[in-house]
Structure 1
Amino acid sequence: MARATAGPHSGSPGGGFRTAAREQCLQNSDLVEQLLPQITSDGMSVAQLKSARKDLLSVALTCKTLRPSAIRLLWRRLDNLVPLLSLCPSFQLTGPRYKPIIDLRGIIGSGGWDLLDRHAAHVREIEYDPGNVSISPLVQIRLAMRKCPLLPNLLRFRCILGLAPDAQILLFLSPSLLSVETSFRTTNSSDAFVELLSNECSGLLHLKLVHHLPTGISHFRQLRSLDLRDLFEPMTSTTFGMIAVLPELSSFTTDLRGWEGIDFDGLDAGSSFVRLAHLELRTTPALSRQHLPRLIPRIATTTMRSLVISP
């Protein structure tokens, strides 16, 4: 077996061996793929995500070996569309510094679209925080005219801040989506979004909506997790009945208030919540005593693992 010796530029015995070992580690794509994602771990705040993306950019600019993996991870999680749209010269940041807007300036050539699409393909998660940057209606229309998803491989979209204009949220619709968490200003906007979501993202597995009750929930036949929080409207028998018969639903979280109008006797106890494993109800002791005795007998599942009652 050949013996490792120090290289001509090593400062100590075994330096060449250490250099070779380091190079082997950097060239091990499996190892790199395990290490780099730690820079952008799940659960990061938007501020932490921005900092992590700066670190990934530094890695991409300083290490040729790590560059492909770093670039892929750099674009994996975004908090808004500004970095992506800025790749296309025709999308320019205009307006005053305190309220900038992305606007369309000139014709977009094939090279501009190719560059944008190449990087957009890396995006898997959006933790949306529009900040003070808005997207002009002209840009939104131009993107919609392409008749293809802006983010074709997006898996998760989250925007619970209630800051984004409703039309901007539509830019994130993609058939690849598996998880959506968002809120809307009005019931009409929520209903329109859920309808579009059901048409474009039929494979959705997790849905969280804040404030407004969806009316088209029955379209999500593969939905496994549903979270309805801080609802402004009371739960209706029709909507509750649609939720109860979702065939794959295993986790359901909602407020218990506003259930006075639900006709529990109209639910088929043999076909309601047949796969439910986790039920979380946000309520008061008084509402629990009022509604739980009527709800529990209507749950057909035999695989319930947890029932959580929280304020």
Structure 2
Amino acid sequence: MNLFSLVRRDPDASKKLFETILDTPNGKRALSRLARTCRAVAEPALNVLWRELDSLVPIIGLFPNPILKKARRPGLGLSKTPVEADWRNILKYSEKVRRISYDEASNNIAASIFPILDECRPRTHILPRLHELTWKAETPAGLDRCALFLSPEIRVLNLEIGSKFPQLSHFLSDMSARTKLTSFSFVSPTPLPDNFTDLLAQQDLLENINLVAPGALSPGVGRWVASLPKLKSLQLDLSGRSIIAVEGFFDELRPRSGDSTPSDVDSESGVFSDDELDFSEIRKSALRLTGDLPSKGSFAQLRKLQLTGDVSNIAVFLRHIMSPLSQLDLVIEDPPDNADWQDLCAIMCERFSESLQSLRVSATGSSRFADLVRSTARAEPAGGRLSLEHLTSLPFLTRLEIDLPESTVFLDADIENLSKACPNLESLRLCPLARFSQNNQPKLSLDSLAHLVVNCGHLHTIAIVLSAKQGNAEVLASRAHSSRSLLRLSLGHSWISDPLQASIFLSHIAPYLETLKWFQEKNRPGFVETNAKGWQSVAETLPHLQNIRIAERKAASRMDTIRPRMANKGIDATVRTLSRGVLATPKMYNASIQFSPTLIDQFVEAIPSVVSAAIDATPSVRNACIEALALTVEQGVEAKPHMVSMSIDATPATTSQAVETSPPPPPLTAAPTSGKREFSRRNPALLFLLSILKIISYPLTIPSRILRLILSKKPKPDGSKRIPTNDTNEKTETIVMDTLQVRQ
């Protein structure tokens, strides 16, 4: 439950936890089991587990087992071409990969896999979020496979290739066009292409460069490296090169940076310059070797420098570097020449005293191979001397590591001088793997630790080989030789004679020491069982003595607080007076300046510019014709009245009566056809309106006729019947009422 809440509340803490698990022995297996145990930690654990891969085998193993030749050995290849569904797991986990390595010499990946990946991949980049790629190829075909993983997200590319690569220029051009790197490493016995700087001209964001190849010290490469605006780390190999070759690295850099101007070196120039030899270049080379010709404007952002080779070549190279280096890693041929080492120490203390924070000195591969051969033959170690008394002032140095197989002898004077030259040291490692024989024991003693404790108040880690003899009594009696910051002490193959005395001394100078290590492996060269048992005894008794020391000092501090010490002091307040005179004689200089004004005759011809312009004001005329034709519409309306036949039975119950009705109106007679057409042509709208009115009014005549018939049947008040009259204006028609049928 605590782990679940930690993952949910603080992803950074869970990430640190999983990274710590990954660094432990069998860390990958433990982290894999943890990811399969709980869903809450599965995703962050898988992110850490898949973040860095040392091979392509885990990626190939994500294919389904049926298409692999052998499920337990995915590197042997695929038995058939994968389809889109087979890429599902690869697309899922490839998003988590940030760093990956490939080594062709290991032969754990079949070459037949790469064409299948290239042809059947479902997307352009198999590892779209890949940040760092390390590729080691022995053949040109192995180098060509690297293009499959060059995605735009790559920022770090480490190349280690063999010899005879004819397509190297093509590969570098393609790589430079597809990526934007911040770190580039190239290690190869193959010489760099002649157009190497042109191929990498687009890589202007480089911060870290490592070039170990023939041609890396050419003037063109030096000019290109010095021109990079964001370069912070540089690693070069100076092994097997002459001083002139090292000097040539800066030949083309200086004329473009303004470093070698005529005023830099005093040289005569005048009428007789053609008759005399020009020694300016010789003088510049001499000044560069002595360090009197400073470099300006080059390597402005350079902070970390790693050089490999002879001490003399490294010293010549450092004379040209004026940047404030903070970290310096030197891989030297061991043992170095004493004069060259002294010269190198002087340059470091002079140039980088105000900026250098970390200094590492290690041996080249050839020197370590010689030491390995000697240890296999069970020969006595060389035990050369590397003096630290040449270090004068490195006040900001916090980390010093010297790991050499030959120069392993250090004296108490070296430690005393080192503690004064580097007062802010926090970590010190002086050949912790050195081994000594019975006839040649270590020269350092426990008193050397006392010098470091007094002068280096921030020192927390020490790794040296010493001989733990009885300590100085003055050191045990002084509270100033006790360090509160010293927490870790590694003694390697150190010698010891009396474990109890060593425990007492260590409990005094390091009462808060947490870790005490020494070599306990019996199969390690230089192992002495007596010394291992002695340090084991010290490790068992030291914690108890430390508790006693701390308890005593706490009690002493309380006593000092309760009863302060009283002392009577007298001060001589006599004022000292001094008489001092200063002779101030002004220096007079006569200077004359010849001033001749420069006269210039100048004429200005002022002619106004005249421009003639003509305007054509002819009006534009256009002819337009309009055809006006009267619109004639011929329209006819057929008006037929709607005839309704009705029967009314008006027969009285006892009598039959005749009713005179008026005849129906005569039928409408149409006007002559010719007159109607003429009228419709003249007034078509009026004719149409009259037709509509006639159609509407005609049905109204039918009810009037019926009403007239009814009124004729009504008796008069005097009982007489109505007698129809024959008016001249009204036509009547006699209708027999018996013939009328009335519906009941």
Give the TM-score normalised by structure 2. Answer: 0.33
Report the CA distance between 1:85 and its aligned residue: 2.2
Match of 2:302? 276
Match of 2:317? 292
SS in structure 2 at match of 1:105: coil
1:1-311 alignment, distance < 5 Å: 21=2, 23-25=4-6, 27-28=8-9, 30=11, 31-41=13-23, 51-89=26-64, 92-94=67-69, 101-103=76-78, 105-109=80-84, 111-129=85-103, 131-137=106-112, 139-145=113-119, 146=121, 148-159=124-135, 165-186=142-163, 187-188=165-166, 190-202=168-180, 204-211=181-188, 212=190, 213=192, 215=196, 216-229=199-212, 231-233=213-215, 235-257=217-239, 258=241, 260=244, 262=248, 264-267=250-253, 268-270=256-258, 271-288=297-314, 291-292=316-317, 296=320, 299=321, 302-311=323-332
- Contact 2:99 2:132 survives alignment (8 Å): yes
- Contact 2:216 2:236 survives alignment (8 Å): no
CA distance in 1, matches of 2:127, 2:73: 28
Report the CA distance between 1:39 and its aligned residue: 2.4
Counterpart AA for 1:197: M
Match of 1:15? none
Larger radius of gyration: 2
- Quick one: structure 1 residues 90 and 108, their matched pair in 2 at CA, closer, same or farther if it must change by over 3 Å? farther
Counterpart AA for 1:88: F
Q: Unpaired segments of 5 or more residues in structure 2?
A: 259-296, 333-744
SS in structure 1 at match of 2:77: strand
- Contact 1:158 1:180 survives alignment (8 Å): yes
Counterpart AA for 1:24: S
Match of 1:10? none
Counterpart AA for 2:130: L
- Contact 1:252 1:276 survives alignment (8 Å): yes
Report the CA distance between 1:153 and its aligned residue: 0.8
Report the CA distance between 1:225 and its aligned residue: 0.7
CA distance in 2, matches of 1:70, 1:308: 35
- Quick one: structure 1 residues 118 and 81, their matched pair in 2 at CA, closer, same or farther if it must change by over 3 Å? same
Counterpart AA for 2:182: L
Match of 2:639? none
CA distance in 2, matches of 1:69, 1:80: 21
- Contact 1:90 1:108 survives alignment (8 Å): no
User: What are the Cα deviations for residues 166-218 of structure 1, in whole angstroms up to 9, with x where unaligned?
Assistant: 2333333221112222201135454444333212221x111121124361333
- Quick one: structure 1 residues 65 and 189, their matched pair in 2 at CA, closer, same or farther if it must change by over 3 Å? same
- Contact 2:137 2:143 survives alignment (8 Å): no
- Contact 1:183 1:190 survives alignment (8 Å): no
- Quick one: structure 1 residues 308 and 80, their matched pair in 2 at CA, closer, same or farther if it must change by over 3 Å? closer
Report the CA distance between 1:121 and its aligned residue: 0.5
Match of 1:5? none
- Quick one: structure 1 residues 71 and 263, their matched pair in 2 at CA, closer, same or farther if it must change by over 3 Å? closer
Counterpart AA for 2:304: H
- Quick one: structure 1 residues 264 and 140, their matched pair in 2 at CA, closer, same or farther if it must change by over 3 Å? same
User: What are the Cα deviations for residues 129-156 of structure 1, in whole angstroms up to 9, with x where unaligned?
Assistant: 563322334x323433446221111112
- Quick one: structure 1 residues 306 and 269, their matched pair in 2 at CA, closer, same or farther if it must change by over 3 Å? farther
CA distance in 2, matches of 1:282, 1:63: 49
Counterpart AA for 1:280: Q
User: What are the Cα deviations for residues 46-79 of structure 1, in whole angstroms up to 9, with x where unaligned?
Assistant: xx6xx43322221122222211222222221112
Report the CA distance between 1:160 and its aligned residue: 5.5
More strand as a share of residues: 1
- Quick one: structure 1 residues 67 and 273, their matched pair in 2 at CA, closer, same or farther if it must change by over 3 Å? same
- Contact 1:99 1:132 survives alignment (8 Å): no
CA distance in 1, matches of 2:48, 2:330: 38
- Contact 1:90 1:107 survives alignment (8 Å): no
- Contact 1:124 1:154 survives alignment (8 Å): yes
CA distance in 1, matches of 2:95, 2:300: 37
Identity %: 23
Match of 2:526? none
CA distance in 2, matches of 1:184, 1:61: 39
CA distance in 1, matches of 2:65, 2:202: 38
Match of 2:665? none
- Contact 1:184 1:190 survives alignment (8 Å): no
- Quick one: structure 1 residues 220 and 104, their matched pair in 2 at CA, closer, same or farther if it must change by over 3 Å? farther
User: RMSD of the alignment, in Å?
Assistant: 3.4
SS in structure 2 at match of 1:219: coil
Match of 2:271? none
Counterpart AA for 1:292: F
Give the TM-score normalised by structure 1. Answer: 0.73
SS in structure 1 at match of 2:236: strand
- Contact 2:226 2:298 survives alignment (8 Å): yes
Counterpart AA for 1:157: L
Report the CA distance between 1:92 and its aligned residue: 4.6
Q: Unpaired segments of 5 or more residues in structure 1?
A: 1-19
CA distance in 2, matches of 1:88, 1:127: 19
- Contact 1:76 1:125 survives alignment (8 Å): yes
CA distance in 2, matches of 1:304, 1:247: 16
Counterpart AA for 2:317: L
Between 1:30-39 and 1:85-94, the stretch displaced more is 85-94
CA distance in 2, matches of 1:234, 1:24: 53
- Quick one: structure 1 residues 22 and 59, their matched pair in 2 at CA, closer, same or farther if it must change by over 3 Å? closer
CA distance in 2, matches of 1:136, 1:92: 16
- Contact 2:220 2:252 survives alignment (8 Å): no
CA distance in 2, matches of 1:233, 1:140: 32
